[in-house]
Amino acid sequence: MTTDLPVFDLREFEHGGVSAELFVERLRDVVHTIGFFQLVGHGVPDELLAEAPEVAERFFALPDEDRFEIDNVKSPQFRGYTRFGHEHTNGRADLRDQIDIGRELPPPNLGPDDPAWLRLRGPNLWPSALPELRPTMTVWMDHLERVGAVLLQAMSQALGQRPDRFADAVSPPEVLLKVIRYRTPSDSPGGNDSDGVADRQSDGVADRQSDGVADRQGVGAHRDTGFLTFVYQHDVGGLQVERDGTFVDVPVRPDAFVVNIGEMFQLVTRGYFKATVHRVVSPPPGTDRVSLAYFFNPRLEATLAPVDLPPALAAEASGGESVDPDNPILANYGDNSLKVRLRAHPDVAEIHHADLLAAGRWSVTSSAE
């Protein structure tokens, strides 16, 4: 089943006046009821929309030794290349490999009293065999940081707040780009690799995968954890969104980003905005699917308190807390983000952050990405 998600043109909001008011009113309803939409008019140039996926394909076509040069086990910041099948959701290997890219910063010089989540800041890993990857993905992230900031103003107004209500929380935002390849090996339809990371779950979604697609699990059913997610599907679909208990396909639009909110936004709106369960079904054997997922999140220092909603909205807010005791949503985004990364990549955690694991607070089995 396919659903045509609502489509928003960001230019309508940026133009101001009545068009912006109508944009905000419609956005309020869609994020409250669906939690997903398509965004056009975002200003990312068409040539970049074509170039970035093509550069990504060139990376994934590199020989193993060139991709392994930036293996994420070399990065205390969990950056770089995650090998195929080395990440799990709901107890099964995700049929994908990927590059994680964050904000480019020097390695941190941390003291014993600094918060542990500052370890997440630092440099990216870039492959010497593909020098064009860095400038292309850097420009991509720069464009989407601007889009995220504008859309966040609209989201704030949709909650009856000032446009800059969340400005301090995202000055600057914590950003992450995942450059992803999904594929289903013909000799491994079930993705039973046992060498990957711990399974990820979110609010009881593990039991929602019994509809015949488990053997092509690109990413299992989950919710995102942060503020805003922007996904560019390129030319092969596979993203599915849960609507009324059924997963439906999100059609590919070459001019659009698929946008959804994460659990932190659900938390601060007391559940008025909806973080929706979604998943990715990998393509049939012999077909690769390249996707670029960009996450626009609060800065690590931000501790978020729930928004005081107008009475009409508050009456429809169901509460934003996680109902899963193994997946708490932590108010400080640094704590929340570190929790996620340690769980998703225990091989990196054991190499670079064994002291955190030994302390017992940062359990790799107590929360989810």
Would you place residue 204 in the very low, low, confident or very high pLDDT band (cuts 50, 70, 90)?
Answer: very low
**Whole-number mean pLDDT of the chain?**
86
Residue 111: partners with Cβ closer than 8 Å, 6 or more residues away: none
Position of tokens 């990216």?
124
Q: Is 180 left (phi over 0), alpha (psi -120 to 50) or beta?
A: beta
pTM of the model: 0.89
For 91-142, how does the pLDDT look when each residue is reduced to its tens digit (9 = 90+)?
Answer: 677 889 999 999 999 999 999 899 999 999 999 999 999 999 999 999 999 9
CB of 224 within 8 A of CB of 295? yes
Q: What is the pLDDT of residue 304?
A: 85
299-323 pLDDT, tens digit each: 999 988 889 999 999 999 987 655 4
Which of 73-82, 87-96, 211-220 holds the top average pLDDT? 73-82
Domain boundaries, the chain: 7-359
> Tokens representing 2?
């396919």
pLDDT at 365: 43
CATH fold of the domain at 7-359? Jelly Rolls (2.60.120)
Strand runs labelled E in the chain: 7-9, 36-40, 80-82, 88-89, 92-93, 96-102, 174-182, 217-222, 228-232, 239-243, 246-249, 257-261, 278-281, 289-297
